């Protein structure tokens, strides 16, 4: 080849490479299924950063050039303006496992020429180097798309809590690219995405379950699990293939257990707050000793056992309880089925009253929790007989019911879980919810803005209906939501803190407190709640409101949720109750204040939170730091996209699930392990108060330190609780 031809060939290749690398998404419009909600990167209003060609300099998630989401997946749809050949789609993101930031689990790419029919192009995040690790910015690329498209839809699934991206590129392809026909109608795009998520969830959950059990095996047994894992790596498996592999893995696991246990099933006593996988390796001899549970009169204690099937087919289990209800105790038994949680896991969480038999698949483990309710002082013996086929096993339980000295003085921990009765889960279940909240020692209700009358409201019927069902509530918080300009001004023509506004406010306050008083509530426990998690310019407005109103209306009381330095420094000294977020770095060194401090958390999604470490120990932390109340968001919040919280829900990404209750049949409310652990924590607080009354606050805090210093030891709280009970009451 002569030099001229060689130069021409190089030039042609250069031009072709330039065309291939051309980013045709640059400065193109896009839409987001969910606005950015991570506060330290691009604002929620941002609609340009992902295609502006600007890559982030500096720490990835602290720059406005980065777009961030927390707790949610997102679909990003880019309009290229015209149909063009596509070579590749890229997604630039970041990881830092120490901060719980991982690369996305999936970046599903869909393509369309008309925004009506889409076809699935592939998963850009399906690479061998999609791994957790130290800080790293990485561009994931789906190559060889080789088709024509105008619309590019990226359905991005986070691997954990956070998801970040600063730039998406669509690289131009050859003019000779294949013109693929769209396979999915636009209105079916979400259905296709959900199907992919469901398949990926099934696969990943199965991989995790098998891997967890494989770690305890070696030799021939271990190689069988390795073979199953290898088969699961095939991305072309259908849903029926995955089901078959799940059954195969269960039978294999059952055979391994049967080889050791020599029994078709095993029964094992278990901590009710412990984590549990569907493929569990049973421990031996867990039923040899009788278990004693200390239960206060009018209080509860919980226990648990797990059943693992080692048969090669499904087994039916039946339960017989002797002395379930007596003059001393009431006994309830619950099945705890698995539901989806974060990061492709399934956890046992709903507590479904056990009313019949239960079937368990080969190799699977099921949790059962029992609740003992104390009625009268004394010692009760309860047996649970587990039957399957011709095999039966007996669980021996002794309940020691005691009177807690100074009980009335001890049960004074305030509890608030923002139980809005406007939530769909509670709608039609008000009476059941009221009973449930009372049983869990919730003594505070929040009247939401939608129910709370305004300056111009004359019809108080909604408020009357709302509060009429509450009987044993101590604190009422009137959430006025003054973060909304219209609500703060009182009317479209009003002006906050003007002379006219002040007169209307005084009239409104007198009217509403009188109305609530007529329904049986004391003014001393009505708190105004003008702002939620106040920040910015609202802090000074709130300060001016408090200073003015307290001069005008003696005895008026204020409540606030505080999350930041400015709010705490300014508002905390002025109000009667401040509920401070547990993540606030200065929680143990707050500025001087006269009012009570409560704590709360808005962490989520809630299913991933530990029943023990998060829900139960919140009360212990409150006692240790002299806080007078606790709480969390939220009793029954499932986010904007989901109305109900069904146990059977095939939910594959439960990031917006904050509630601690599930929908039951009819008007029944199904509790959860997390909700029951929260209740137990409040009763622990009462025992701590009683112990402090007898032995001093210093000694009580020594007991608390022993628990909080060992948060991973989930047996520690019960051990310390039992020790305190025996020292308080003298029972053995």
Cis peptide before 674 (omega within 30 of 0): no
pLDDT digits (tens, 9 = 90+) for 225-265: 778 877 876 767 778 888 888 899 899 899 888 888 888 99
Say how many C-beta atoms besides its own lie within 10 A of residue 82's C-beta: 8
Q: Which tokens go with 95?
A: 């990881």
Select from 344, 425, 350 the least CA-distant residue to 653: 344
Q: Which residues, in sequence order, are CB contacts of 315 under 8 Å at separation 6+? A: 264, 265, 309, 359, 360, 388, 389
Domain 265-402 has CATH 2.40.50.100: no
Q: Which residue carries 């025992």 as its tokens?
A: 687
The crossing angle, in degrees rounded to 10, of helices 716-729 and 697-708 is 160
For residue 67, the 8-state DSSP code is E
pLDDT at residue 181, rounded to an integer: 46
Q: Which residues, in sequence order, are CB contacts of 58 under 8 Å at separation 6+? A: none
Residue 553 DSSP SS3: coil
Rounded Cα–Cα distance for residues 730 and 732 (Å): 7
- What class does CATH assign to 407-689? alpha beta
Rounded Cα–Cα distance for residues 363 and 314 (Å): 9
Report whether pLDDT(15) > 50.
Answer: no
Report whether pLDDT(211) > 90.
Answer: no
pLDDT digits (tens, 9 = 90+) for 76-125: 999 999 999 999 999 999 999 878 799 998 898 888 888 877 788 888 99
pLDDT digits (tens, 9 = 90+) for 554-585: 999 999 999 999 999 999 999 999 999 998 99
Report whether pLDDT(284) > 80.
Answer: no
Select from 414, 364, 109 the least CA-distant residue to 252: 364
Of 11-25, 397-411, 597-611, minimum mean pLDDT range: 11-25
Report whether pLDDT(410) > 50.
Answer: no
pLDDT digits (tens, 9 = 90+) for 618-657: 999 999 999 999 999 999 998 876 888 999 887 776 777 8
Q: Which residue carries 């449930």 as its tokens?
A: 436
Percent over 90 (pLDDT), the chain: 62
pLDDT at residue 324, rounded to an integer: 84
* pTM of the shown model: 0.81
CB 125 within 8 A of CB 106: yes
For the stretch 32-37, contacts whose Cβ atoms lie closer than 8 Å and that sit 24 or more positions apart, written own/partner, are 32/74, 32/75, 32/76, 33/74, 33/75, 33/76, 34/69, 34/72, 34/73, 34/74, 34/75, 36/67, 36/68, 36/69, 37/68, 37/69, 37/70, 37/71, 37/72
Report whether pLDDT(179) > 60.
Answer: no
pLDDT digits (tens, 9 = 90+) for 325-365: 889 999 999 999 999 987 778 999 999 999 989 999 999 99
For residue 99, the 8-state DSSP code is G
Select from 323, 374, 331, 371 the least CA-distant residue to 351: 371
Burial class (CB in 10 A: 0-12, 13-18, 19+), 472: exposed
Which H or E run includes 242?
A: helix 239-261
Q: Which tokens go with 318?
A: 């039946």
CB 576 within 8 A of CB 596: yes
Higher pLDDT, 588 or 344: 588
* CATH 2.60.120.260 domain locations along the chain: 21-182
Report whether pLDDT(438) > 80.
Answer: yes
Say how many C-beta atoms besides its own lie within 10 A of residue 203's C-beta: 21
Beta pairing class for 315-322 and 358-360: antiparallel
Q: Which tokens go with 49?
A: 């950063």
**Upper half-sphere CA count for residue 405 (Cβ side, 13 Å):** 15
Of 179-183, 277-281, 368-372, minimum mean pLDDT range: 179-183
CATH fit for domain 21-182, picks 3.40.50.2300, 3.50.50.60, 3.60.15.10, 2.60.120.260: 2.60.120.260
Largest CA distance in the chain: 105
Report whether pLDDT(1) > 60.
Answer: no
Report whether pLDDT(19) > 50.
Answer: no
Task: Indicate the length of the chain as a whole number.
Answer: 732
**Upper half-sphere CA count for residue 503 (Cβ side, 13 Å):** 3
Select from 246, 244, 250, 252 the least CA-distant residue to 220: 252
Rounded Cα–Cα distance for residues 638 and 635 (Å): 9
Select from 677, 684, 693 the least CA-distant residue to 728: 693
pLDDT digits (tens, 9 = 90+) for 472-501: 788 999 999 999 988 999 888 889 999 999
pLDDT at residue 90, rounded to an integer: 97
pLDDT digits (tens, 9 = 90+) for 685-729: 999 999 999 999 999 999 999 999 998 899 999 999 999 999 999
pLDDT at residue 186, rounded to an integer: 59
Is the four-CA dihedral 430, 431, 432, 438 of positive or negative sign? positive
Beta pairing class for 300-309 and 365-374: antiparallel
pLDDT at residue 106, rounded to an integer: 86
H helices within 108-238, ranges in order? Answer: 189-214, 219-232
CB 418 within 8 A of CB 631: yes
* CATH 2.60.40.10 domain locations along the chain: 265-402
Higher pLDDT, 140 or 643: 140
* CATH 3.20.20.80 domain locations along the chain: 407-689
Cis peptide before 634 (omega within 30 of 0): yes
CB 477 within 8 A of CB 416: yes
């Amino acid at each position: 080849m002569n030099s001229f031809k060689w130069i021409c060939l190089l030039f042609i290749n250069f031009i072709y490479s330039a065309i291939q690398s051309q980013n045709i998404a640059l400065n193109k419009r896009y839409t987001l299924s969910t606005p950015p909600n991570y506060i330290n990167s691009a604002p929620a209003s941002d609609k340009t950063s992902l295609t502006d060609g600007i890559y982030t300099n500096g720490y990835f998630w602290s720059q406005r050039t980065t777009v961030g989401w927390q707790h949610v997946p997102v679909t990003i749809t880019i309009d290229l303006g015209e149909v063009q050949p596509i070579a590749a789609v890229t997604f630039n993101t970041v990881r830092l496992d120490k901060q719980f930031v991982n690369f996305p689990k999936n970046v599903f790419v869909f393509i369309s020429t008309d925004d009506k029919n889409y076809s699935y192009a592939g998963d850009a995040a399906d690479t061998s180097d999609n791994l957790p690790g130290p800080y790293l910015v990485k561009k994931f690329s789906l190559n060889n798309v080789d088709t024509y498209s105008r619309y590019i839809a990226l359905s991005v699934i986070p691997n954990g809590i956070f998801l970040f991206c600063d730039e998406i590129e669509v690289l131009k392809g050859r003019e000779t690219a294949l013109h693929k026909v769209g396979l999915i109608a636009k209105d079916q795009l979400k259905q296709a995405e959900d199907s992919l998520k469901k398949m990926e969830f099934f696969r990943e959950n199965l991989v995790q379950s098998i891997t967890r059990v494989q770690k305890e095996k070696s030799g021939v047994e271990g190689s069988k699990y390795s073979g199953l894992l290898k088969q699961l790596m095939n991305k072309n498996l259908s849903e029926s293939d995955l089901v078959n592999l799940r059954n195969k893995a269960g039978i294999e696991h059952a055979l391994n257990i049967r080889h050791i246990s020599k029994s078709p099933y095993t029964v094992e006593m278990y901590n009710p707050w412990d984590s549990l996988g569907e493929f569990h390796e049973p421990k031996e001899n867990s039923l040899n000793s009788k278990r004693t549970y200390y239960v206060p009169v009018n209080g509860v204690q919980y226990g648990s056992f797990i059943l693992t099937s080692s048969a090669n087919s499904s087994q039916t289990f039946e339960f017989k309880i002797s002395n379930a209800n007596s003059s001393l105790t009431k006994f309830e038994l619950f099945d705890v089925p698995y539901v989806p949680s974060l990061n492709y896991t399934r956890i046992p969480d709903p507590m479904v009253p056990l009313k019949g038999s239960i079937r368990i698949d080969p190799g699977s483990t099921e949790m059962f929790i029992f609740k003992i309710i104390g009625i009268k002082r004394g010692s009760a013996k309860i047996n649970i007989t587990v039957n399957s086929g011709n095999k039966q096993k007996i669980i021996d339980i002794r309940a020691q019911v005691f009177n807690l000295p100074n009980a009335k003085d001890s049960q004074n921990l305030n509890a608030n879980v923002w139980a809005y009765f406007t939530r769909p889960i509670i709608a039609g279940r008000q009476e059941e919810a009221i009973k449930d909240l009372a049983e869990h020692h919730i003594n505070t209700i929040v009247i939401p803005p939608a129910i709370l009358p305004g300056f111009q409201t004359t019809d108080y019927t909604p408020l009357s209906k709302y509060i009429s069902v509450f009987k044993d509530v101590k604190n009422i918080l009137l959430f006025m939501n003054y973060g909304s300009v219209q609500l703060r001004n009182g009317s479209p023509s009003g002006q906050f803190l003007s002379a006219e506004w002040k007169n209307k406010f005084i009239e409104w306050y007198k009217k509403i407190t009188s109305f609530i008083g007529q329904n049986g509530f004391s003014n001393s426990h009505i708190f105004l709640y003008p702002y939620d998690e106040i920040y910015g310019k609202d802090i000074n407005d709130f300060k001016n409101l408090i200073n003015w109103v307290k001069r005008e209306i003696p005895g008026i009381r204020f409540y606030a949720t505080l999350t930041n330095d400015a709010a705490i420094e300014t508002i905390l000294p002025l109000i009667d109750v401040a509920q401070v977020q547990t993540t606030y770095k200065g929680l143990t060194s707050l500025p001087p204040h006269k009012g009570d401090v409560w704590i709360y958390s808005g962490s989520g999604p809630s299913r991933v939170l530990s029943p023990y470490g998060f829900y139960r120990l919140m009360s212990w932390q409150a006692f240790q730091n002299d806080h007078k109340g606790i709480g969390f968001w939220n009793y029954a919040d499932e986010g904007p996209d989901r109305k109900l919280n069904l146990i059977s829900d095939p939910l594959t990404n439960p990031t917006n699930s904050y509630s601690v209750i599930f929908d039951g049949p009819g008007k029944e409310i199904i509790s959860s392990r997390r909700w029951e652990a929260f209740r137990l924590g409040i009763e622990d607080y009462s025992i701590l108060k009683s112990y402090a009354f007898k032995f001093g606050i210093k000694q009580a805090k020594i007991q608390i330190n022993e628990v909080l210093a060992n948060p991973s030891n989930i047996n520690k709280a019960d051990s310390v609780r039992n020790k305190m009970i025996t020292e308080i009451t003298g029972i053995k």
